[in-house]
């Protein structure tokens, strides 16, 4: 039987956060951070696969899903890393496994650098200090130009055109259900703060690079870097640069996947992370008894 999650909420860092808990609480904790515009459900396939080995907690980061939006629109990497600290403290987690994709990967790098005692092992998915501007622009243009939909069928068709790697029916039954909400007008919109789709946030790419590079150099825990083979956001050169910055790091390339690796090729992503965890001895019962 496929494991099923429990919906929960916790107050941390001045906001209410929604998260999904998978597996038994006597297992080692694994915290998952989704990417921009996504929700905790991004991790559902992976969470279910890891539930026999970990107590998985995938949470909606601020401004996303069913978590609160930031009242001052503070979505800086430092603030979101502080959310991770407050979230895990509220749940009584002293040491845990951490994985983050895209925006969540950035936040996980910043958090791990500042809290080395907290992270047992880190997985960073398709992100690093060096990113490809055209790939990022492609995502931002999609978010800016597709804010509302007349119905879920229209939404599914638009999403499928943007990312045809996923079956249309899966997008309709999964992506649309968990990532959209209905407006009073009857139309549908994304479950994230419009800050992320406002289209006029230039950002300081060099400052981001410098911050993430400095953070990566401070990370000492075992780290897996995962890249989608077809990603236009994170290049092989970017992956090599990040791997050189983190001393105890490994690299895995997942075929048939773009930027959103775990959604484009769920089985391939799971195999990459399972291989890393297994090689490090993180999947055994003995480890489960001694972590948390």
Sketch the domain layout of the chain as residue ranges. Answer: 6-131+208-290
- Structure confidence at residue 288 (pLDDT): 40
Q: pLDDT under 50 in the chain at which residues?
A: 200, 286-292
Question: 6-131+208-290 domain in CATH 3.40.50.1820?
Answer: yes
Strands (DSSP E) contained in the chain are 6-12, 15-22, 29-33, 55-59, 96-101, 119-125, 148-149, 180-182, 188-190, 223-228, 249-254
- Structure confidence at residue 291 (pLDDT): 44
Strands (DSSP E) contained in 147-213 are 148-149, 180-182, 188-190
- Structure confidence at residue 292 (pLDDT): 47
pLDDT in tens, 49-98: 999 999 999 999 999 999 999 999 999 999 999 999 999 999 999 999 99
- Structure confidence at residue 1 (pLDDT): 73
Burial (CB < 10 A; 0-12, 13-18, 19+), residue 244, is exposed
Interatomic CA distance for residues 120 and 254, integer angstroms:
23
- Structure confidence at residue 282 (pLDDT): 97
């Amino acid at each position: 039987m496929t494991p099923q999650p429990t919906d929960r909420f916790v107050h941390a860092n001045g906001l209410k956060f929604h998260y999904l808990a998978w597996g038994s609480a006597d297992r080692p904790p694994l915290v998952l951070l989704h990417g921009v515009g996504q929700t905790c459900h991004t991790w559902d396939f992976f969470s279910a696969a890891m539930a026999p080995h970990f107590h998985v907690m995938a949470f909606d980061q601020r401004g996303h899903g069913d978590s609160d939006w930031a009242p001052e629109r503070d979505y800086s990497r430092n603030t979101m890393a502080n959310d991770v600290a407050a979230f895990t403290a509220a749940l009584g987690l002293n040491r845990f496994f951490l994985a983050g994709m895209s925006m969540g990967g950035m936040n996980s790098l910043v958090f791990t650098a500042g809290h080395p005692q907290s992270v047992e092992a880190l997985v960073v998915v398709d992100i690093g200090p060096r990113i490809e501007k055209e790939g990022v622009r492609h995502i931002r243009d999609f978010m800016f130009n597709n804010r509302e939909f007349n119905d879920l069928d229209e939404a599914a068709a638009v999403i499928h055109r943007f990312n045809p790697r996923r079956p249309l029916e899966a997008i309709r039954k999964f992506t649309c259900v968990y990532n959209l909400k209905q407006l009073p007008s009857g139309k549908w919109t994304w479950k994230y703060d419009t800050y992320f789709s406002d289209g006029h946030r230039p950002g300081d790419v060099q400052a981001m690079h410098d911050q993430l590079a400095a953070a990566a150099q401070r990370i000492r825990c075992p780290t897996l870097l995962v890249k989608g083979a077809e990603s236009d956001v994170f290049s092989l050169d970017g992956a090599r640069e990040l791997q050189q910055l983190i001393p105890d790091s490994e690299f895995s390339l997942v075929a048939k996947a773009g930027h959103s690796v775990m959604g484009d090729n769920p089985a391939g992503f799971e195999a990459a992370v399972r291989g890393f965890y297994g090689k490090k001895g993180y999947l055994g019962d003995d480890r489960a008894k001694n972590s948390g």
